[in-house]
Amino acid sequence: MLVAPSILTANFTKLNEEIEKIQSADYVHLDVMDGHFVPNISFGPHITRSINHVSTIPLDIHLMVTDPLYWIDQFALDKTEYITVHIEANDTEEALKKIKEKGIKTGISIKPNTKVYDIVPFLNDIDLVLVMTVEPGFGGQSFMEDMMEKVKELVELRKQKKLHFIIEVDGGISDQTIDICKDSGVDMVVAGSYVFNHKSPKEAIESLK
What average pLDDT does this structure show over 98-116?
97
Taking the C-alpha atoms of residue 115 and residue 209, their distance in angstroms, rounded to an integer, is: 28
Give the whole-number percent of the chain exceeding pLDDT 70: 98
Q: What is the pLDDT of residue 9?
A: 87
- pLDDT band (50, 70, 90) for residue 107: very high
Angle at 19 between CA 33 and CA 17, to 5 degrees: 120
Total-model pTM: 0.95
Judged against a pLDDT cut of 90, whether residue 165 lies above it is answered with yes
Total domains in the fold of the chain: 1
Residue with the bigger pLDDT between 139 and 198: it is: 198
**Whole domain around residue 145: which residue ranges?**
2-208
- pLDDT band (50, 70, 90) for residue 140: low
Name residues whose C-beta falls within 8 Å of residue 74's C-beta, 6 or more positions apart in sequence: 44, 45, 48
Burial of 70 by CB count in 10 Å (0-12 exposed, 13-18 middle, 19+ buried)? middle
Q: What is the pLDDT of residue 34?
A: 87
Which residues are designated catalytic? 31, 170
- pLDDT band (50, 70, 90) for residue 20: very high
Q: Tell me, what amino acid is at 20? A: E
The answer to whether 173 and 208 have CB atoms below 8 angstroms apart is yes
Q: What is the pLDDT of residue 80?
A: 98
Q: What is the pLDDT of residue 12?
A: 86
Give the whole-number percent of the chain exceeding pLDDT 90: 85
Q: What is the pLDDT of residue 67?
A: 97
What is the domain-level CATH number for residue 176?
A: 3.20.20.70
- Taking alpha carbons only, the member of 185, 184, 178, 176 closest to residue 208 is 178
Judged against a pLDDT cut of 80, whether residue 141 lies above it is answered with no
Judged against a pLDDT cut of 90, whether residue 169 lies above it is answered with yes
Q: What is the pLDDT of residues 40-76, one digit of tens each?
A: 888 889 989 999 999 999 999 999 999 999 999 999 9
